[in-house]
Chain A
């Protein structure tokens, strides 16, 4: 019964978080007087001389078509109803594409790059951090993490530019941008997979090199704290093997706060996505969100922000249920 109550409580909290995020993302873009439709026409005027004489009439027609001339609270009500149905409507700037069209076009590139690199950073950083703090590890192993620590804080934008210039432009070892080679049509072949993989190496390195150090430092800190714990001493006196102690007593206990940190790190993905996808010309979620913000295309902003919010919030709640699996003490309590 207690478990059931816990689950219900957490699920209600999840719903509250999603509602709060929905409401904030609805009202914030509305605080601006910018009109996505007008900006689309202005963009066309700036780049293509599209400047119809009765632009205001056209804009008014389109505002009506998208329901933007209705009272704000009515729009809010319809918006919430649509959110429940995961329907974010049409993009104002890329009409007649829907928001879900744009997300579905961009999502694979972001998942492929950002999620994978975050997971890789997490694994590499924590492993190196744990080794760095583990007194029985060979000295050379403990120094492997040092370069990553030195690179901590180097922004992905700078890392990306440097990698592009030296590895892509000067040495011509890897492509200078894009998701795959120009002119190739995506297909299910090893050749295409390899080509796509080659295009992801530099963006992935731009993200990983600067972020591994953070995990190393935090994991090392945790590891040092755990070294003096009774259960580690007990395991050593029991005569357990070094690898068993490292894996089951040391790493497992040190990992718990890191898992929480991992879920929170997912929330910062958007910033990385905007920067890295921009530099490398990848058409992911970050690029779409950046263009939407530039043009105040609020249905797209709603859609992407909510999508990320729901994913992160759900993962956070899910993790709460994973903790007992990782730590028997939580299970007992």
Chain B
């Protein structure tokens, strides 16, 4: 009996101990990412009116602050406060904001060379200057390291990168690269590269696995001081070089706390709204229309980009389309694609979802000033008149489907060979829960077998090119239409059976279209030939209904003025950056905030 009791005791103890012991079991493949970052000394207490509290669902692994840690790194969760670029671009002011570089200019008319002059006052957090060697190392790293996001761009365009002196870098391109400066070397929205410190990166055994933590030298204004599963905390670095260089005034936000909302996003977004209304947070990730309307109604101190009026958001760079695999039946028939487009009533979308604001679109790019000018050009207007991409006409839609050999079945759905047209919209509940059901109704009215799939397989369905529609944006053009139109370049058209890359789900291939892109590639956006070719390519996009453009994407971000004011808005464009604190330009937004005076 004694034995039995002893054994029972041992087993119970083992069971109880198993959980924590297993966690700390010897890990042969020891990681570089810490389980938690705790401040070395207690953080000094700061009053609420010196702290900025932001809500976000933190997805990156704890400790990853190294921009070259792939795929763990993202700039969106506070790392944009640590790393800086050569220059920013302010989209609503249509201007470059020189930063680590005083200038960054092409030195040849054919866009085959570029010179970068660094700001001599730029310094890393360890006190050493940001030098041309750091820039060369950053660029060469992108060229050599095939896991880095801009590797392909550097390999395609860059021939040599040379440090001419401590503050000057010369880039020679293999081919004309008129958009390289903007697309790659400039931080805006969520694209471009930050500069990393050579001395730290070259010491790492594997730069893609090196987490960075608190030790990585950075040039940005905030130091990471704490990070666990609940939050990230950044403190202002009083010796930030940009203050001494006169680029910024001493920021009023002394501490930034990013709260990990975890599972409170998506279907539990109401709780985030309640936390904002109760002044727990100063801002959070963007909201659907109805949610932000309720927030503004319940707390008058909370505003949005458009104040307290619809549509509450600013235009993001991510206009959404209904994509489909244009290489499989029935979507390989342009009449079917056009018929689906004709069943979309864009005016009704504006009325139902946006209180009449013109958010529905016919373009695959956002209508920022330069792109609006392009869209208003006579050449584009002529193409638009020819193909009428925004037309809503169920009779025309029905005629096209009849011509394509479809007949309506007893349920009022188009059918051919016993099969209806699968128009299931694969999308994401957290961002598409308002628009997708409206589109389903419109498509069903047009006779298409529509439904919504917000399942975990939605993304994979897009990659695999399964039958159905895919709701997704075009994260591409900002200044000119090239990047958006290039998404449909035939070189990205992967065969069925292999995965399609992000934004390449149409699998569209057309030599006529590709030829136009090839002609545009070496030309500057203000070149008349570029404008003419781009208009022609856009015409083909509409003619062939490569995808069905639906809405401009809005970021409806709540800004709580209880403790902080001077949030960006349509009446306070300020530096001209977009209003997302998580974007690369979020640092500019945060360092511009002013205290409201509330304690």
Contacts and interface: CB of A to CB of B under 8 A. Distances in A.
A96 B146 contact: no
A182 B280 contact: yes
A307 B19 contact: yes
Contacts of B12: 318, 321-322
Interface string B449-473: 0000000110110111000000011
B229 interface: yes
A49 B210 CA distance: 23
A282 B8 contact: no
Given A48-B190, A105-B62, A90 B263 contact: no
Nearest to B39: A185
Contacts of B262: 277-278, 281-283, 287
Nearest to A55: B501
A103 interface: yes
A97 B33 contact: yes
B598 interface: no
Contact of A107 (B20, B210, B259, B261): B20
B544 to A, nearest CB: 22
B512 to A, nearest CB: 22
B389 to A, nearest CB: 24
Contacts of A39: 459-460
Given A56-B499, A95-B72, A311-B19, A176 B33 contact: no
A101 B475 contact: no
Given A45-B502, A50-B190, A318 B31 contact: no
A173 to B, nearest CB: 12
Interface residues of B, number: 103
Nearest to A109: B229
A61 B146 contact: yes
> How many A residues are at the interface, by size bracket?
35 or more
A172 B64 contact: no
Contact of B257 (A35, A105, A183): A183
B228 A105 contact: yes
Contact of B459 (A42, A62, A102, A104): A42
Interface stretch (A127-135, A161-169, A254-262): A161-169
A303 to B, nearest CB: 9
B72 A33 contact: no
A331 interface: yes
Contacts of B499: 35, 38, 56, 59
- Which one of B70, B233, B317, B462 has the greatest number of beta carbons of chain A within 10 Å? B70
Contacts of B210: 96
B279 to A, nearest CB: 11
A187 B47 CA distance: 19
A43 interface: yes
Contact of B42 (A187, A277, A294): A187
A290 B263 contact: yes
Contact of B463 (A38, A47, A53, A183): A38
B11 A317 contact: yes
Nearest to A170: B274
A183 B51 contact: yes
A111 interface: yes
B274 A164 contact: yes
Interface string A27-55: 00000111101111111111111111111
Contact of A44 (B7, B35, B74, B318): B74
Contact of A34 (B15, B62, B457): B457
B527 interface: no
B29 A87 contact: yes
Contacts of A294: 456
A44 B228 contact: no
Contacts of A172: 278
B502 A42 contact: yes
A86 B24 CA distance: 9
B15 A49 contact: no
A165 B428 CA distance: 26
B463 A42 contact: yes
Nearest to A91: B61
B11 A98 contact: no
A200 to B, nearest CB: 13
Interface string A63-96: 0000000000000000000000111011101111
A54 B72 CA distance: 18
A177 B275 contact: yes
B486 to A, nearest CB: 9
Contacts of B261: 177, 281
A331 B1 contact: yes
Interface in B260-295: 260-264, 268, 270-271, 274-275, 277-278, 280-281
Nearest to B211: A96
Interface in B27-41: 27-29, 31-36, 38-39
Contact of B4 (A3, A57, A93, A280): A3
A186 to B, nearest CB: 7
A45 B197 CA distance: 26
B160 interface: no
Given A169-B278, A182-B259, 13 more contacts: A3-B3, A46-B428, A51-B475, A51-B502, A54-B152, A93-B59, A94-B61, A106-B229, A280-B264, A283-B262, A290-B263, A310-B22, A331-B4
10 contacts: A40-B71, A54-B152, A58-B147, A96-B31, A98-B31, A105-B229, A179-B230, A185-B38, A278-B264, A321-B7
